[in-house]
Amino acid sequence: MKSATIYDVAERAGVSHITVSRHLNGFEGIRPGTRQRIELAIEELKYTPNLAGRHLRLQKIDRIGYIVDRLSEAGPARAAYGAIEAARASGYILDIVSTNGSDEKSIADAIDIVTRERVAGMVLSVQTEAARAVLGRRKFTVPVVHDFDLHIEDSDTTVNEWVGHVAADHLLANGHRNFFYLTGPSSWTASKTRAEAFASAVQQAGGSVVSTVEGDWSARSGYEAASRLIKDGIRGVTAIAAANDGMAFGVLSALSSAGIAVPHDMSVMGVDDQAEAAYAICPLTTVKLDFAFEGQYVIAKLIAQIEKTTSASAPSRIPRPPLVVRASTGPPPTQ
Q: Range with the lowest mean pLDDT among 48-52, 137-141, 155-159? A: 48-52
Query: Over the chain, what is the mean pLDDT?
Result: 90
Share of the chain above pLDDT 70, in %: 92
Model pLDDT, residue 55: 52
Q: Range with the lowest mean pLDDT among 16-20, 156-160, 278-282? A: 16-20
CATH 3.30.565.10 fits 6-49, yes or no: no
User: Which residues partner with 269 through β-bridges?
Assistant: 241, 285
90 or 274: which leads in pLDDT: 274
Tell me which amino acid residue 100 is: N
- Residue range(s) in the chain whose domain bears CATH number 3.40.50.2300: 58-151+291-316, 159-289
Cα–Cα distance for residue pair 326/157, rounded to 1 Å: 26
- Residue range(s) in the chain whose domain bears CATH number 1.10.260.40: 6-49
User: Which residues partner with 97 through β-bridges?
Assistant: 67
- When pLDDT is cut at 50, 70 and 90, the band that residue 30 belongs to is confident
Query: Tens digit of pLDDT for each residue in 195-209?
Result: 999 999 999 999 999
Instruction: Count Cα atoms within 13 angstroms, Cβ side, for 220.
Output: 1
Query: Tens digit of pLDDT for each residue in 241-268?
Result: 999 999 999 999 999 999 999 999 999 9
Residues 153/155/158/160 CA torsion (nearest 10 deg): -80
Query: Tens digit of pLDDT for each residue in 46-99?
Result: 887 665 555 545 556 889 999 999 898 889 999 999 999 999 888 899 999 999
Model pLDDT, residue 21: 76
CATH class of the domain at 159-289: alpha beta
Average pLDDT for 95-111: 95
CATH 1.10.1530.10 fits 58-151+291-316, yes or no: no
Query: Tens digit of pLDDT for each residue in 172-195?
Result: 999 999 999 999 999 999 999 999
Average pLDDT for 124-150: 92
